[in-house]
Amino acid sequence: MTKSANTMWGGRFAAGPDAIMEAINASIGYDRRLAPQDIAGSRAHAAMLAACGIITDNDAEAIREGLLTVLSEIETGKFPFSTALEDIHMNVEARLRDLIGEPAGRLHTARSRNDQVAVDFRLWVRDQCDQADAALGALCGALLAQAEAGADWVMPGFTHLQTAQPVTWGHHMLAYVEMFSRDRSRFADARARMNTSPLGAAALAGTSFPIDRQMTATALGFDRPMSNSLDAVADRDFALEFLASASICAMHLSRLAEELVIWSSAQFRFVKMSDKWSTGSSIMPQKRNPDAAELIRAKVGRIFGANVALMTVMKGLPLTYSKDMQEDKEQTFDAADNLMLALAAMTGMVADMTAERANLKAAAASGFSTATDLADWLVRELGLPFREAHHVTGSLVAMAEGKGCDLPDLTLEDMQSVHADIRDDVFDVLGVENSVASRTSFGGTAPSQVRAQVAHWKEVLK
């Protein structure tokens, strides 16, 4: 049996679509998430049409009430979604017609699904920017609490994952506050740029009806209408900027997740993850696995993937709308959902983890971590050129390594056998506490600097 033609545009069609055509064409399976935005857009549009004398006040009122009913049906799970009606726009409009009859047919005056979907998706992505900002604020708060507690706890700082110089726990936590705060500003920039309204661009060329685009823009919280109707329906930069910001943020999450995986291992024991954020093994009773951190590390892949996928969808499209653009939504939804989940999980893990202070300190002192302090002392106190000081220090590190001890364990005689002028007060700089306390340059790891930065961030995050 041939299906009957679509009631929305079937005028020139004798038959309905093939079942496979319907399957590839329908987006209602996922774009139903845009229902609140779609209804908000339609309400703004209908109110504007009435204000501009394009439809009657009575019709606008019937549309308004009908849309509220549709929204409540959707919210309560009573809405009869239909795949034959393809997408959220046609599902809502068809139901509106069932509910209010003829006035429903006037809603689509001076509008197309092209500007409609651009509005809906833009509103949705804008909301995600706000949610990302709030979630990042909470994560920064958890990191800041760790930083404040451990402003002067020493730990090894790494380059190449080799012990480099001692740093403070607070300093390390604040590095992530900086990163996640840049993410917030990226989402804020994207939000500001996307906050213009495509509504009224209609199919692509604008409309001959005397519409008021500023009115709908204002009603939907946009700063202004977009100035070019072709651009308005063809643009998906807003989703790409969201996904690009999400990708960078996810990369930051993954780096922190990676550190938590390493730090919570038996080999490092820098942090103890709370029971709330650990899982056990069904066979190995000793295990405490950092699954949430691992999953965050992995979820980054799908967020990057969504960004690449949409870039790829868009790159070959001639202006203006092509159905390819329907593929903008599903992966953006997935990326946003997983970003929010990852941010929430990271916030919980960071808030509930315990730094193992004694282990951090022991590790900080191992691996000749104060070799640079020794070289600096030779420069400052003995006037050696830094290159020579580097060489002398290297010899002393080799000596300590040969003796199986750390630099502070060498005797003064050991030191003087390499450079005769070395004095007893060199030992002051070889301790890790002194080492970090000396790094007082702006942005350095000294507890005094860390406390100043904690105070700064407390103000910012208030």
Locate 282 and state its tokens. 């069904």
Q: Of 17, 27, 123, 271, which one interacts with ligand ARG (CB under 6 A)?
A: 27
Kindly tell me which of 254 and 332 has the beta carbon lying closer to ligand ARG: 332
Interactions with ligand ARG, residue window 53-82 (CB under 6 A): none
Candidates 146-154, 224-232, 321-329, 451-459 — which segment interacts with ligand ARG by CB under 6 A?
321-329
SS3 at position 398: helix
Q: Is 281 in the active site? A: yes
Instruction: Specify whether 160 is catalytic.
Output: yes
Q: Tokens 């606008």 sit at which residue? A: 60
Q: Which residues contact 118 (CB under 8 A, 6 or more apart)?
A: 198, 199, 201, 232, 233, 235
Q: Which of 160, 208, 227, 282 is catalytic?
A: 160
Q: Per CB under 6 A, does 378 bind ligand ARG?
A: no
Q: How far is the CB of 233 from ligand ARG (least distance, A)?
A: 9
**What is the rounded distance in angstroms from the CA atom of residue 270 to the CA atom of residue 239?**
39
Q: Considering only residues 114, 197, 307, 445, which one is a binding residue for ligand ARG as defined by CB under 6 A? A: 114
Length of the chain: 462
3-state secondary structure of 282: coil
**Cα 28 to Cα 87: distance, rounded to the nearest angstrom:** 4
Secondary structure percentages of the chain, helix, strand, coil, to 5: 70, 5, 25
Task: Kindly indicate which of the ranges 109-117, 345-353, 431-439, 443-451 contains the residues binding ligand ARG, using the contact rule CB under 6 A.
Answer: 109-117
In angstroms, give the least distance from the CB of 28 to ligand ARG: 8
What are all long-range contacts of 257-262, with beta carbons under 8 Å and residues at least 24 apart? 257/293, 257/294, 257/296, 257/297, 257/346, 258/293, 258/297, 260/290, 260/293, 260/349, 260/353, 261/290, 261/293, 261/294, 261/297
Marked catalytic residue, from 4, 265, 281, 322: 281
Q: Is residue 321 a contact residue for ligand ARG (CB under 6 A)?
A: yes
**Does the footprint of ligand ARG cover residue 87 (CB under 6 A)?**
yes
Question: Judged by CB, which is closer to ligand ARG: 43, or 89?
Answer: 89
**Would you count residue 325 as binding ligand ARG (CB under 6 A)?**
yes
Please name which of 334, 344, 331 lies closest in space to residue 296, comparing C-alpha atoms: 344
Where b means 16+ CB within 10 Å and e means fewer, 350-377 reads: bbebebbeebbbebbbebbbbbbbbbbb
Considering only residues 126 to 185 of the shown chain, the ones binding ligand ARG according to CB under 6 A are none
Choices 42-50, 182-190, 320-328, 396-404; region in contact with ligand ARG by CB under 6 A? 320-328
Residue pair 414/393 in contact (Cβ under 8 Å)? The answer is no
Taking the least distance from each CB to ligand ARG, the nearer of 111 and 439 is: 111
Supply the minimum distance, in Å, between the C-beta of residue 348 and ligand ARG. 35
Query: Measured from the CB of residue 271, what is the shortest distance to ligand ARG in angstroms?
Result: 45
Phi-psi region of 202 (alpha: psi -120 to 50; beta: other; left: phi over 0): left
Tally of CB atoms within 10 A around 141: 17
- Give least dist CB 81 to ligand ARG, A: 14
**Closest CB to ligand ARG among 30 and 268?**
30
Q: How many binding residues for ligand ARG (CB under 6 A)?
A: 11
Q: Which of 11, 42, 6, 2 has the alpha carbon at shortest distance from 26?
A: 6
The CB-of-198 to ligand ARG minimum distance in angstroms stands at: 12
- 116 to 135, contacts with ligand ARG by CB under 6 A? 117
Query: Any contact of residue 216 with ligand ARG (CB under 6 A)?
Result: no
Sites of contact with ligand ARG (CB under 6 A)? 27, 31, 87, 89, 113-114, 117, 321, 323, 325-326
Q: Residues with catalytic annotation?
A: 160, 281
